[in-house]
Amino acid sequence: MRYHIDTIPVWDALKPDGECPLCFLRRRTEHLMVDRYLGASVMESDTRIQVNEKGFCPAHQHMLYAKQNRLGHALMMHSHMLHTQKKFAAYLEQATAAAREAAGQPMLKRLTRRGGAGSGDAARGIQALVDSCVLCESVDDNMKRYAYTFLHLWKTDEGFRKAVKASKGFCMKDTALLIDMAREHLNPAHQVTLLEALSELAEQSFNRTAQDLEWFTLKFDYRNADKPWNNSKDALERAVQKLRGCYIGTDPARDA
């Protein structure tokens, strides 16, 4: 895959001073794509073909629904449902045929036959229909581009390295993404400096967040009711983001 270098979004993602700049980019990309799918592109044939084939995961269905564009959402779901129904029916027919074949066999043969491949394949096929998401795939592609740009800046821009080292680090999910892509796009020396920085940032941010989270829980003790919250009021939200790379509560990328 070839990656386009656009450094401005990656630099901008450091400005909110959040728990993970790549989380911010991912969420902003999701909002932009949801708006695009519900906009004029809902009538474009290429978009309709992709949506028909893959649909949307539950998380992105919630995002689409929250935009309050019921018509655009319904148009996509209608054509996706008609397209999916044919595949669903074929898998059900496959599973039924396999069950009928097994039912017509002697008990001993049913007990010793290997597999039940027909119904098993049908179940896996139906599950694949449920698991696919055109938005997830598009977001993942964009995040690989952003990670590539991040690594390019890390390799070429001292100012960027300083800005990253002064940040609050990254969530576990995006740390894994950077480590994985660094193997291909950074030489060993640059990988070492990146991994050292990621390790230091992770230790600092986990310690800070864990302390804030502990104080958040202790504030529910009546003996601490009159004591200040310090930086703990959003500790739960920050801990979830650090551990899983997702936002709960306030979404800073919604209007960015």
pLDDT tens string 216-238: 999 999 999 999 999 999 999 99
pLDDT score of 119 more than 90: no
On whether residue 5 sits in a domain, the answer given is: no
On whether residue 229 sits in a domain, the answer given is: yes
pLDDT score of 115 more than 50: no
**According to the model, what pLDDT value does residue 21 have?**
97
Provide the domain count of the chain.
Answer: 2
In this prediction the pTM is 0.87
- Expressed as residue numbers, the domain containing 163 is 139-244
Tokens of 246: 């997702």
Residue in 133, 3, 122, 138 with CA at minimum distance from that of residue 62: 133
> Do 112 and 35 have their domain in common?
yes
On whether residue 144 sits in a domain, the answer given is: yes
CA within 13 Å, CB half, 75? 15
On whether residue 224 sits in a domain, the answer given is: yes
Overall average pLDDT of the 58-74 stretch: 95
Residue in 123, 140, 130 with CA at minimum distance from that of residue 55: 130
On whether residue 254 sits in a domain, the answer given is: no
> Do 128 and 19 have their domain in common?
yes
pLDDT score of 116 more than 60: no
On whether residue 150 sits in a domain, the answer given is: yes
On whether residue 89 sits in a domain, the answer given is: yes
**According to the model, what pLDDT value does residue 40 have?**
82
On whether residue 143 sits in a domain, the answer given is: yes
Residue in 213, 193, 195, 216 with CA at minimum distance from that of residue 205: 213
> Do 131 and 143 have their domain in common?
no
Overall average pLDDT of the 71-80 stretch: 95
Mean pLDDT for the chain overall: 92
Give the C-alpha distances (Å, rounded to integers) separating 83 from 50, 53, 87, 213.
Answer: 11, 7, 7, 47
> Do 42 and 111 have their domain in common?
yes
Choosing from 120, 136, 152, the residue where a domain stops is 136
pLDDT score of 193 more than 60: yes
> Do 60 and 107 have their domain in common?
yes
pLDDT score of 109 more than 80: no
Q: Which residue has the higher pLDDT, 198 or 253?
A: 198
